[in-house]
Chain A
Amino acid sequence: EAAVTQSPRNKVAVTGGKVTLSCNQTNNHNNMYWYRQDTGHGLRLIHYSYGAGSTEKGDIPDGYKASRPSQENFSLILELATPSQTSVYFCASGDDGQNTLYFGAGTRLSVL
């Protein structure tokens, strides 16, 4: 079964600080995604990638950067964290076929 691992699982950050959320997948999937989940909004796409070295902007990319240094790893970077970025973040991977997404367990981020 697909395995997507996120770290850390919980993070408290200060406003203006830098935050890096990490995601590792062992499925050899080309596509990886970062979503945030907020009450009333469901899951919203921040950044995604079609393979190592590529990153694409999703629907709400402002304030976030992404990095895909390898097939397995996809990071989400908040250079200057703000309280509005307090949320639960999910990473997912999918292949080029039917592209069923397999999700990690999520990272709960609080920016104070």
Chain B
Amino acid sequence: QQKVQQSPESLTVSEGAMASLNCTFSDGTSNNFRWYRQHSAKGLEVLVSIFSDGEKEEGRFTAHLNRANLHVSLHIREPQPSDSAVYLCAVVTGNYKYVFGAGTRLKVIA
């Protein structure tokens, strides 16, 4: 069964500095990965979807996937205080089921 772990559990960065979040998974046969953002007490919004090794950019958000290393990361360029939220990594299995990590809580300070 796919296992997904995220690190760090929490991260504080200054406004404008790069924020980097990590996600490791146990089964390298998956080819469908998502990063979601969850603001406090709200639903999840999808940020980036990535389906092959390499890089995928969506605005200020860039995902890097390396399936050989069982690793997918999210980099946030020029983070703003409004980016403060919980970021969730998800791996989609062959039967359309998502397996989520526990999340990284990001705080961006002005």
Residues of A within 8 A of B (CB): 4, 31, 33, 35, 40-45, 48, 50, 58, 90, 92, 94, 96, 98-106, 108
CA distance A44 to B41 in the complex (A): 17
Count, chain B residues at interface, CB 8 A? 22
* Secondary structure type dominating chain A contacts: strand
Contact A98 B32 (CB under 8 A): yes
Contact A42 B88 (CB under 8 A): yes
| Complex interface: chain B residues within 8 A of A41 (CB) | 102
Q: Which of B53-61, B68-76, B91-99 is the contact stretch?
A: B91-99
Known: A42-B101, A101-B44, A106-B43. 14 other contacts (CB 8 A): A31-B96, A42-B100, A43-B98, A48-B97, A94-B96, A98-B32, A98-B49, A99-B32, A100-B49, A101-B34, A101-B90, A102-B46, A106-B41, A106-B42
CA distance A102 to B45 in the complex (A): 7
| Complex interface: chain A residues within 8 A of B79 (CB) | none
Closest B residue to A38 by CB, please name it. B102
Contact B96 A43 (CB under 8 A): no
Contact A58 B97 (CB under 8 A): yes
Pick the residue among A4, A44, A101, A108 that contacts B46 (CB under 8 A).
A101
